[in-house]
Amino acid sequence: MSQFPKVQFLKSVAAPGQFPPDEGWEVAMAGRSNAGKSSAINALLARKGLARTSRTPGRTRLYNYFELAPGRRLVDLPGYGHASVNAATRESWGPLGEALRERQSFAALLMVVDSRRGVSEMDLGLLAWAACPAERAHVLMSKSDKLSRAEAQQMLRQAKDSLAGLASCQLFSAHNGEGLDEARGLLLRWMKAEKK
Ligand code: GDP
């Protein structure tokens, strides 16, 4: 049984004027292209095909909104990572990003990082940009099923070091479900929390 039984696609936003009403609160989902973000969204929300996987990297610049419950939204941000940190920030987070960041309802960041690659400068750049308090920023170290236990633990330790004071993190696999309950639990806690 899904913890988000009412989840539905809300809208795609291509310009600052198109955002949903700035009420309640929303979690932004970010990650490098191909990190496994779409797969993570589908696994977390238990809805296959809700977020489309394997889009052409760098082509989609839309912000895709999902409603998890009334006044509770998840916004899927464009994948980044095909250029420098500055270019990634400019491209993915230009006027649209500025508009998102100014929203009262923008409350938390869920970032997907390929556990085999580890946390990059770009990931850290976007975390800094989003400026969410550490208890409202969390990293899913994705595709953990592709690593041995020892490798996964080592990558997790390294990620914790890189993210110290900025975000919490955990191992995650959309394929075998590792970390799924933990990540869903966090999302549910965020959904129930007062925003500030
Ligand atoms: P996005 O570009 O970040 O949205 O990434 P996708 O969700 O489209 O995933 C990119 C590729 O990684 C696809 O081929 C997925 O099948 C694969 N992938 C995603 N999550 C996992 C996972 O947990 N385990 C494994 N083994 N592969 C995954």
Tokens representing residue 39 in the block? 């797969």
Strands 63-69, 25-31: pairing is unpaired
Which of 64, 28, 70, 63 is closest to 49 using CA atoms? 64
Is position 130 within any domain? yes
Query: What confidence tens digit (pLDDT) does each residue in 80-107 have?
Result: 876 555 665 565 567 888 899 999 999 9
Residue 70: closest CA among 18, 126, 8? 8
CATH number at residue 155: 3.40.50.300
Both tokens of 128, joined, read 């800094």
2 within domain boundaries: no
Return phi, psi of residue 151, to 5°.
-65, -45
- Quick check: is 1 in a domain? no
pLDDT at 54: 44
Q: Is the CB of 37 under 6 A from ligand 1?
A: yes
Entry pTM: 0.92
pLDDT reported for residue 6: 86
pLDDT at 48: 76
Amino acid 43: pLDDT: 95
H or E stretch including 124? helix 121-130
Give 109's strand partners: 28, 137
> Candidates 29, 33, 39, 63: which one to mutate for ligand 1, based on the most atoms within 8 Å of Cβ?
39
Q: Splitting the chain (196 residues) into consecutive groups of 10 residues, what average pLDDT does each group show? A: 83 92 95 94 87 53 90 91 60 79 95 97 91 96 98 98 98 98 95 72
Ligand 1 atom nearest 53 alpha carbon? 8
Q: Which atom of ligand 1 is closest in space to residue 146's alpha carbon?
A: 26
- At residue 58, the pLDDT reads 45
Residue 142 structural domain: 8-192
134 found inside a domain: yes
Q: Which residue has the tokens 């998890």?
A: 68
The tally of domains found in the chain comes to 1
DSSP secondary structure of 26-93? EEEEEEBTTSSHHHHHHHHTT-TTSSPPSPPTTT--PEEEEEEETTEEEEEPPPB-SS-HHHHHHHHH
Residue 3 located in a structural domain? no
